[in-house]
Amino acid sequence: MQVFLVEDSAPVRERLTEMLQGLPDTQVLGHAAEADGAIREILAGAPDVVLLDISLAAGSGFDVLRAVRPQAPQIEFYLLSNYAAFPYRQLAETLGARGFFDKSKELERVREVFAERAARPGGPSA
């Protein structure tokens, strides 16, 4: 499973990478801290899954969703954010995200969901 990481905080990014690399059959393809760079690299690298923060160094995770989803609907997006109030979750769902994790309270769930996803060969589109 190829994962692309969109996260502007270096300490968080490092720990997430470490956590994801520890999952079986999972590689972190790359990462970006800004919306524009993320859109470019996701479309170029075509990962299976994107783990996406909402608040970025420039732009927002929603911008990335809006730009990428119509062009690459097969890529699965999971949001991981400290902006976890219901309206944010609702918007993420509307824009086609498959999951949403509270960055401070649902970190354990990320590992569970991603491990499960990695174990499913080929993903949902396959």
Q: Work out whether 108 is an interface residue with another protein (CB under 8 A).
A: yes
Least distance from C-beta 18 to another protein, angstroms?
9
Instruction: Provide long-range contacts, Cβ within 8 A and 24+ apart, for 31-36.
Output: 31/4, 31/5, 31/6, 31/7, 32/4, 32/5, 32/6, 33/6, 33/7, 33/8, 33/57, 34/8, 34/58, 34/59, 35/6, 35/59, 35/60, 35/61, 35/63, 35/64, 35/67
Q: Work out whether 103 is an interface residue with another protein (CB under 8 A).
A: yes
Chain residues 3-22 in contact with another protein, contact rule CB under 8 A: 9, 11-12, 15-16, 19
Mask: binding to another protein, 37-66, rule CB under 8 A, as x and -?
Answer: -----------------xx----x------
Q: Work out whether 104 is an interface residue with another protein (CB under 8 A).
A: yes
